[in-house]
């Protein structure tokens, strides 16, 4: 791995952890220090990386990103009932240009993922999601991106990339490895109707704030198929962030956003998490630290029952429809459900193998009643594009 992009954790953070109880995360984490150097990554499952790049932010505030404040709050927390090795690799300094920052982040994230280490990236503005997406170019795989955000961040494809237009660049710029995009928690009045219509036209998935808050369990199905999750702290309501001026009065509360992060961690498939747009208040720093904590707890209880592991661990159900058979799989380990989207013969595109989509028991029962689940239709139509 190329560590030239990484600057060590600040001495004030390392000095602070010396005062912490031995059971705290700060005492157990492998930290990149100025004197100790980059820690041994053997056995490490999760690696923190900070990057304060926010030159493409379009929020009114251009305050400095206080990554070390998040670290201090995270180090203060006590480790949960998990046996995971965590490393803090320090920060990627902002490059001479924003493109330089993107390149450095993409390279570091790709290197970690190749080692089966999950990068947890602390930003910075949310356009850094584009750099994390580009890291998958080196993995040669299709990408399912989930954004927890009050906005879709399409912007204008002709505009320069920004924290509110990065998604257009992901869709338009080659190589196009995006299979699906899902938004969790969008607020209708903050998104143009044209953007909402575009989500439908592209067969993407969007879940309104009220819909998710009413039933947080639907997040598990969405996260189960995610490779990359981008979490914008602007999706949290102002009251839970210490009421900064740029925050919204509506959004997820602290408990809900932590539950969402936990669902992200539980996903066997997820390989990268980005936490962006943190507000400069003590409540925001504390909540960011707790979001990371819950994500790690989720990783610690992964079921390891993604269907490609072993067919023997699943019940297979065939539901006859008028013109086709729908195939459902149910895990013996967790009881979770998947639906199969078969390969389309003689179709020469990038979708050359069958796709397994997470679904619910309710969708299986729906199919038994003769109704094809909407998520199946969207995936099938994407293959025809």
State residue 32's pLDDT score.
97
The answer on 280 and 328 residing in a single domain is no
The total number of structural domains in the chain stands at: 2
Residue ranges of the chain with per-residue pLDDT less than 50: 60-61, 346-349, 351-353
State residue 349's pLDDT score.
47
The answer to whether residue 6 sits within a structural domain is no
Closest CA to 56 of 183, 134, 166: 166
The answer on 338 and 189 residing in a single domain is no
The answer to whether residue 146 sits within a structural domain is yes
State residue 140's pLDDT score.
80
Instruction: Give the residue numbers spanning the domain of 238.
Output: 11-300
State residue 352's pLDDT score.
45
Report the CATH number that the domain containing residue 61 is assigned in CATH: 3.40.800.10
| Cα–Cα distance measured from residue 273 to residue 110, given in angstroms and rounded to the nearest whole number | 13
State residue 385's pLDDT score.
62
Give the model confidence (pLDDT) of 155-211 as tens digits.
765 565 666 788 989 998 999 999 899 999 999 999 999 999 999 998 999 999 999
Tokens matching residue 123: 């930003």
Give pairs for 76-79: CB < 8 Å, separation 24+.
76/20, 76/24, 76/25, 76/26, 76/289, 77/24, 77/25, 77/289, 77/290, 77/293, 78/21, 78/23, 78/24, 78/25, 79/23, 79/24, 79/25, 79/28
Give the model confidence (pLDDT) of 46-72 as tens digits.
999 999 999 888 764 456 788 999 999
The answer on 85 and 138 residing in a single domain is yes
The answer to whether residue 315 sits within a structural domain is yes
Tokens matching residue 238: 């102002």
State residue 164's pLDDT score.
77
The answer on 23 and 70 residing in a single domain is yes
């Amino acid at each position: 791995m190329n560590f030239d992009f990484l600057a060590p954790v600040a001495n004030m953070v390392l000095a602070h952890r010396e005062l912490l109880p031995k059971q705290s995360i700060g005492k157990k984490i492998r930290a990149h220090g100025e004197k100790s150097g980059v820690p041994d990554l053997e056995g490490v499952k999760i690696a923190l990386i900070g990057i304060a790049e926010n030159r493409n932010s379009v929020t009114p505030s251009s305050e400095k990103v206080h990554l070390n404040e998040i670290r201090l709050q995270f180090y203060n927390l006590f480790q949960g009932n998990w046996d995971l090795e965590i490393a803090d690799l320090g920060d990627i300094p902002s490059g001479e240009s924003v493109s330089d920052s993107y390149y450095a982040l993409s390279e570091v994230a790709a290197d970690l993922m190749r080692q089966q280490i999950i990068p947890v990236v602390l930003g910075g503005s949310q356009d850094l999601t584009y750099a994390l997406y580009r890291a998958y170019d080196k993995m040669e795989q299709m990408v399912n991106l989930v954004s927890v955000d009050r906005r879709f961040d399409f912007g204008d494809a002709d505009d320069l990339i920004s924290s509110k237009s990065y998604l257009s660049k992901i869709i338009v710029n080659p190589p196009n490895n995006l299979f699906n995009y899902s938004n969790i928690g969008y607020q209708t009045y903050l998104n143009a109707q044209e953007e909402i219509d575009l989500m439908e036209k592209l067969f993407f998935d969007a879940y309104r704030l009220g819909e998710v808050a009413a039933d947080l369990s639907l997040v598990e199905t969405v996260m189960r198929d995610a490779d990359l999750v981008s979490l914008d702290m602007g999706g949290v309501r102002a009251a839970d962030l210490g009421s900064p001026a740029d925050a919204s009065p509506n959004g997820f509360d602290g408990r809900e956003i932590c539950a969402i992060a936990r669902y992200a961690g539980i996903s066997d498939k997820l390989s990268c998490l980005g936490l962006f747009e943190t507000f400069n208040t003590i409540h925001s720093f504390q909540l960011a630290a707790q979001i990371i904590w819950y994500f790690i707890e989720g990783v610690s209880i992964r079921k390891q029952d993604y269907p490609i592991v072993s067919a023997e661990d699943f019940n297979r159900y065939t539901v006859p429809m008028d013109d086709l058979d729908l195939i459902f799989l149910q895990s013996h380990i967790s009881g979770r459900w998947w639906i199969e989207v078969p390969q389309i013969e003689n179709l020469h595109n990038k979708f050359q193998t069958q796709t397994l989509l997470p679904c619910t028991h309710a969708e299986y029962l729906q199919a038994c009643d003769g109704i094809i689940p909407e998520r199946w239709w969207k995936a099938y139509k994407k293959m025809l594009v």
